[in-house]
Amino acid sequence: MLEKRIEEVSLNAWPASQQIYFDGWILRFANGYTRRANSVNPLFGSSLNVEEKIRYCERLYTAKSQSTIFLLTHFAAPPELDQALAKRHYERVDLTHVQYRDLKQSSIPAEHSVEFRNAAPENWLEGYHRVTNVSLAEHRMHKELLQRIPTTRLLAQIFDSGKIVACGLGVLEADYFGLFDLVTDPKARNQGYGGKLVLSMLRWAQENSASHAYLQVLSSNAAARYLYTKMGFKDLYEYWYRVPKV
């Protein structure tokens, strides 16, 4: 099942600092940095009572002073989990489309109008956080996440006239290539740099024997979804989070 395989490689590409396997569920912990790295992922078969499992997860996350968050898909196990969480007053938030592109169908030409670099980690982080203007604390957590990635990384940067205008993270596992952290400098938006970044990353992936490409985009981000569709991506499946109602 392509969808489940992509969920597996995306979990590897965005690693938690700690995780526990519990009757087919993966409980991930990363000091609260991003929901994906701090959530319950019910990806595999489940045999225990669902209510007891939810309560067990709640105790573990509470012990770490974290909210109990579930990441759900249409193939989450057991199928009644989403309804069980709703009855426990968990809200459904952040509907996200996982988009897919087959990289075997056609070769991607080189983009010569900008300079493309696979940067060193420190240089990439400096550029990423300058473009996004996030806090120093998040910078440290992001660095730790990058260091934990067990497979091949692409720390992509696009330069124009010597200035960084866009950057993104690519993670290659076997022949699956995931695109994450795709950002463009706010001063350089609506000039085609986002598309040039994605195509340059996909070309790198093809050159490194990737056959499949995937990315995740919020349903509410219509502009990004339109861009990725132009880049040859199609919706494959959706995921969403269930979070405790405040």
Give the DSSP per-residue string, 124-163.
Answer: HHHHHHHHHT--HHHHHHHHHHHHH--SEEEEEEEEETTE
> What gap in Å lies between CA 29 and CA 62, rounded to an integer?
12
> What gap in Å lies between CA 112 and CA 208, rounded to an integer?
19
Residue type, 10: S
Q: What are phi and psi of 58, to 5 degrees?
A: -60, -40
Give residue 238's pLDDT.
98
The Cα-based distances of 154 to 181, 206, 212, 231 in angstroms read: 11, 12, 15, 19
Question: Of 109 and 151, which is predicted with more confidence?
Answer: 151
Element (H, E) at 196: helix 193-207
Give residue 1's pLDDT.
86
pLDDT digits (tens, 9 = 90+) for 73-101: 999 999 999 999 999 999 999 999 999 99
Give residue 187's pLDDT.
87
- 124 pLDDT more than 80: yes
* Cβ-based neighbours of 40, under 8 Å, separated by 6 or more: 25, 26, 27, 28, 57, 68, 69, 70, 71
pLDDT digits (tens, 9 = 90+) for 97-119: 999 999 998 888 888 888 999 99
The per-residue pLDDT of the chain, averaged, comes to 94
Question: Of 46 and 246, which is predicted with more confidence?
Answer: 46
> Mean pLDDT lowest for which of 69-73, 137-141, 150-154?
137-141
Band the pLDDT of 133: cuts 50, 70, 90. Answer: confident
pLDDT digits (tens, 9 = 90+) for 17-71: 999 999 999 999 999 999 999 999 999 988 999 999 999 999 999 999 999 999 9
32 contacts 16 by C-beta, under 8 angstroms: no
Give residue 136's pLDDT.
67
Q: What percent of the chain has pLDDT over 70?
A: 100
Average pLDDT over residues 214-240: 95
- Both tokens assigned to 206: 């093809």
Within 10 A of 153 (CB to CB), how many other CB atoms are there? Answer: 17
**End-to-end Cα spacing for the chain:** 36
Average pLDDT over residues 129-133: 85
